[in-house]
A and B are shown apart, each in its own frame.
Chain A
Amino acid sequence: METAAIQTHGLTRRFGALTAVEDVTLSVAPGQFFGFLGPNGAGKSTTIKMLTGLLEPSAGTVEILGQPFGAGALHLKRQIGVVPEGMALLGRLTAPEYLHFVGRMYGLDRETTNQRTQELLEFMQLANETKKLVTDFSHGMQKKLALAAAVIHGPKVLFLDEPFEGVDAIAAGMLKSMLQGMINRGATIFLTTHVLEIVERLCSHVAIISQGRLVANGSIEALRAGVASTLPGAEQEQRLTLEEIFLSIVGAGGTQEQAQELSWLS
Chain B
Amino acid sequence: MAFIGGADLGEAGLNGAGGLGAPPASLAGGIMGTLARAQYGALARLRWRMFLNGLRSNKGALELGARTFSLLVYGLMGLGLGTGMGIATFFLVSRGEWRLLPILFWVLVFLWQAIPVMLASFQEQFDLGILLRFPVRFGSYMLLYLVFGLLDISTILGGLCCVGIWFGVAAARPGLLVFATLALAVFAAFNILLVRAVFAWIDRWLAQRKTREILGAIFMVGLLSLQLMNPALYQKRHARHTGPDERVQQLREAEARYAPVLKVASTVQKCLPPGMAAQSLRHAVQHEPVTGLESLGGMALYALLVGGVLALRLKAEYRGENLGSAPARVKAASGRNGAVAGSGIQERKAVGLRGGSGPIAAVIEKDVRSLLRTLPLLYAIGAPLLLVLVFSGVFIKNGAAQGPMFPLALPLCMMYAQLGFTQVFYNNLGTEGAGIQLYFLSPTPIRTVLLAKNLLHAFLFGLVALVAAVLTGLRLGPPDGAVVAATVAWLLFSLPCNLAAGNIFSLRMPYRVNPGRISRQRGSQANALLSLLVQLGVLAMGAAVFSLCWFLDRMWLATPIFLTLAMGAVFVWRRVLGNADGLAYQRRDALMATLMKES
- Listed in ascending order, the chain A residues whose CB lies under 8 Å from chain B are 52-56, 71-72, 74-78, 80, 82, 84, 86-94, 96-97, 100-102, 104-107, 109-110, 114, 117-118, 121-122, 127-133, 135-136, 149, 258, 261-265
Contacts and interface: CB of A to CB of B under 8 A. Distances in A.
Interface in B303-358: 324-326, 328-329, 331-334, 336-338, 340-345, 348-349, 352, 357-358
Contacts of A97: 348, 366, 369
B592 interface: yes
B442 A135 contact: no
Nearest to B435: A90
A86 B433 CA distance: 9
A136 B341 CA distance: 17
B516 interface: yes
Interface stretch (B66-74, B291-299, B582-590): B582-590
A80 B438 CA distance: 12
B119 to A, nearest CB: 23
Contacts of A74: 443-445
Contact of B440 (A53, A101, A132): A53
Given A90-B432, A97-B366, A258 B438 contact: no
Contact of B341 (A55, A118, A262): A118
Given A110-B357, A130-B344, A87 B336 contact: no
A11 B64 CA distance: 37
18 contacts: A56-B588, A77-B443, A84-B437, A88-B437, A100-B362, A101-B366, A105-B363, A105-B438, A106-B442, A107-B443, A110-B357, A121-B341, A128-B334, A128-B336, A129-B331, A131-B332, A132-B209, A136-B325
Contacts of A107: 358-359, 443-444
B118 interface: no
Interface residues of B, number: 64
Chain A CB within 10 A, most for which of B342, B349, B441, B592: B441
Decide if the interface of chain B is mainly helix, strand, loop or mixed: helix
A131 B344 contact: yes
Interface of B: 2-4, 14, 19-20, 209, 324-326, 328-329, 331-334, 336-338, 340-345, 348-349, 352, 357-359, 361-363, 365-366, 369-370, 373-374, 431-445, 515-516, 581-582, 585, 588-589, 592, 596
Contacts of B436: 88
Chain B CB within 10 A, most for which of A86, A118, A263: A86
5 closest Cβ pairs, A-B complex = A130-B344, A104-B362, A88-B437, A90-B435, A77-B443
Nearest to A84: B437
B11 to A, nearest CB: 15
Given A96-B344, A100-B348, A128 B331 contact: yes
